[in-house]
Amino acid sequence: MKTFADLIHEVQEPGLCHQCGGCVAFCSAINYGALELGADGRPRYSNLEKCIECGICYSICPVIHELDEDTKELVSWSAPIGHILGNVVARATNPQVRAQATDGGVITALLLHLFDRGHIEAAIVSKTTGPFQRRPWLALSREDIVAAAGFHFDTLPSIKHFSDVYTTFSPSIAGLGDVARKPLKRVAFVGTPCQINVLRRMEVLGVVPSDAIKFHVGLFCAGNFQFGPEERQRLEQMGNFSWTEVHKVNLKEELLIHLNNGEIRAIPLNQLNFMKRHACQFCDDYAAEFADISCGGIGAPEGWTTVIIRSPLGRAVLANARGVDIELYSYRENPTLMSQAMAKVLEWSEKKKRSAAEYHQQLEKKAV
Domains and CATH numbers, the chain: 66-224+280-367 (3.40.640), 226-276 (3.10.450)
Q: What is the largest CA-CA distance in the chain?
A: 64
| Gap between the Cα atoms of 67 and 60, Å rounded | 8
Work out the burial of residue 230: count CB atoms within 10 Å of its CB; fewer than 13 is exposed, 13-18 middle, 19 or more buried: exposed
pLDDT computed for residue 169 by the predictor: 46
Inter-residue contact 198 to 45 (CB < 8 Å): no
Specify the pLDDT at position 167. 43
Q: Facing residues of 189 across strands?
A: 124, 216
> What is the pTM for the complete model shown?
0.89
Residues of the chain with pLDDT under 70: 128-134, 151-178, 180, 368
Tens-place pLDDT, residues 183-226: 788 999 999 999 999 999 999 999 878 889 999 999 999 988 87
The predicted structure's pLDDT at residue 368? 62
Q: Please report the pLDDT score of residue 152 as a whole number.
A: 45
Q: Amino acid letter at 287? A: A
Cα distance between residue 246 and residue 261, in whole Å: 9
Residue 164's pLDDT is what?
A: 35
Q: Residue 91: what pLDDT? A: 98
Contact 300, 103 (CB under 8 A): yes
User: What's the pLDDT at 154?
Assistant: 35
